[in-house]
Chain A
């Protein structure tokens, strides 16, 4: 695993958006340009056949990373590398482009309501010219529908005839139709009910095993992420706070933000533990705090945290961007109950 080229990699990736008011208004009001740093320098690699998840609260930049990863946005800085090639270069080649696909959050918005299921699923097949004859195309659609747990007879139906979970299955069938190796899944289950979520997560795991897929999985739900990931990156305000193997992250979360997130999750086991809310709110990414972006909410913050932005540094088999962890001050913050119970 270690010596092979990762399927997917980003290096110092950044994406900034100009959210200034129009030029003349800005001139009259003497305003500065306003730049939203949605993603501000992150690096990670995903080995073939594994899943890396990005978690974080809304506005942390995780969906922007998803869109950068398939080329829906171009990076402001840094590089996206797909199987050893720069993404821009790879996307110029149809046979490389077909190797990556994306699954979106909302199955009600991502399927064309006027198209029949067969046409929706066959679109990538046609676009990439993967099969030539109509009958071969129909066979392929039937095979894909079976693969995602639908009936081949469903091909004649329209999206409105399906429930949310079934629609997400159609989205997955469409994504698989070009025989991709890498799938970017942006909150694929957050629009679904919990019983259906389990169906889709099980399906995605099965498909990964059967087809050797590599996933970049975006979610705000830590419990979901624990079930699907090999490695997890915790994002806060456009940067990675912590990047660790899934089990390490849940057994010994190091970054104060990761610990706070785990404390904040409602307790379903009803052990009677009180939820400890994280104080304050996610600051605006247009005017992020100085130094470590988490310092205004962090119980371990000191002067250095206010001044100096921490970089990701190794801590055990994890990578953590925190001065307190680096200096060994993190014992002052207790491990979240979830990690304590596991230990």
Chain B
């Protein structure tokens, strides 16, 4: 990692959902940084809190969800306490968002050109004609053939892969410094997925855009991310350089997750599996949330919750890496 100041800092973030039966803690004590030009992958099973983390950063938590503790800093300034209007201005201009389903991101009633031009003129000091020219450039940039003609098409006139490119163009056209991409390729076929990933990587490299890439697809992470955070039951279980986490995970959960991916290069008689399922938010076990499923569980895991500890190559929230425990 370079020693430049982080662009995004998430510190001890806690998100709560008040319900009739008490408060559910959806995210607890989540902390990480993203440097300019860096891609942080966030992985985990459904319900682990990956998307919730993204939503909290861009200020789009679904009510009644709210940030109960911690702070989010963007370029050194707090953004978690901004008023709606201030956050709206920041979103789009400084922080772009890409969501899983391109159909819900694009307004079906307007041409893609209209939507791009609107975004560009809102955030950049350009007149509509210049903005239109810029919009065409962006469509070309994301690989849409005959962009000058296609710009006046409606979203439904594009195929799924092309539509996701439009969404990417829309997220990038105001030249944000940070992109929060939530499952940007999940709805796409592998052949199109490869194209979109290649595009995101190129853009991050060329423009120095930082990216938080939320996905459950480890292959996509392995190819794209610089660092990975593995989430489990609303917390970060492990965070570290992508190669270390993917190939030599320290946390038993990350290791189990990686092992359960079916290999492509050989057939195995029986796949490694993690027994059981992730706990519900209303029934998170005491101690380490993973302890009922963990093959290496011991006494302390059932009583105390581990914080992220130094595991040499990565940081892992696991008592195995506690120097006290190791000595004892």
Tell me whether B189 and A282 are in contact (CB under 8 A).
Answer: yes
A16 to B278, CA, bound (A): 43
Q: Is B169 an interface residue, CB under 8 A from the partner? A: no
Q: How far is the CB of B187 from chain A (nearest CB, A)?
A: 9
**Are A202 and B273 within 8 A (Cβ)?**
yes
Is A26 an interface position by the 8 A CB rule?
no
Interface residue range, chain B: 35 or more
Q: How far is the CB of A240 from chain B (nearest CB, A)?
A: 18
Q: If the complex has contacts A198-B260, A268-B218, are A163 and B277 also in contact, measured as CB distance less than 8 A?
A: yes
Cβ contacts under 8 Å, B45 to chain A: 193-196
A275 at the B interface (CB under 8 A): yes
Within 8 A of B (CB), among A26-63: 57-58
Report if A270-B247 is in contact (Cβ < 8 Å); known contacts: A199-B273, A275-B223.
yes
Q: Are B271 and A201 in contact (CB under 8 A)?
A: yes
Is the Cβ of B193 less than 8 Å from the Cβ of A198? no
Give the complex CA separation of A239 and B50 in angstroms.
Answer: 39
Interface members, chain A 157-192 (any B CB < 8 Å): 163-166
Q: Which residues 260-301 of A have a CB within 8 angstroms of B? A: 260-261, 264-270, 275-278, 281-282
Docked-complex contact A195 and B256, CB < 8 angstroms: yes
Q: Considering the chains assembled together, what is the distance between the CA atoms of A202 and B262 in angstroms? A: 11
Q: Among the listed A166, A197, A221, which residue makes an inter-chain contact with B277, where contact means beta carbons less than 8 Å apart?
A: A166
Asked whether A197 and B247 contact (CB < 8 A) given A202-B270, A205-B270, A227-B271, the answer is no
A341 adjacent to chain B (CB < 8 Å): yes
Contact of B264 among A201, A278, A281, A338 (CB under 8 A): A338
Q: Does A195 contact B191, Cβ atoms closer than 8 Å?
A: no
Question: Are A261 and B191 closer than 8 Å at their CB atoms?
Answer: yes
Residues of B within 8 A of A58 (CB): 160, 189
Q: Are A275 and B267 in contact (CB under 8 A)?
A: no
Q: Interface segment, B68-76, B194-202, B309-317? A: B194-202
Say whether A275 contacts B216, CB under 8 Å: no
B192 within 8 A of A: yes
Minimum CB–CB distance for A288 against chain B, Å: 15
B222 touches A270 (CB 8 A): yes
Q: Does A222 contact B (CB under 8 A)?
A: yes
Separation of A141 and B264 alpha carbons in the complex (Å):
36
Q: Which residue of A lies closest to B192 (CB)?
A: A281
Instruction: Please judge, given known A-B contacts A197-B260, A205-B270, whether A265 and B192 are in contact too, CB under 8 Å.
Output: no
Given pairs A266-B219, A277-B195, 4 additional interface contacts (CB within 8 A) = A195-B260, A198-B274, A268-B218, A281-B162
Which A residues contact B (CB, under 8 angstroms)? 57-58, 163-166, 193-199, 201-202, 205, 220-224, 226-227, 246-247, 250, 260-261, 264-270, 275-278, 281-282, 338, 341-342
* 5 A-B pairs with least C-beta separation: A266-B219, A278-B191, A277-B194, A57-B189, A198-B273
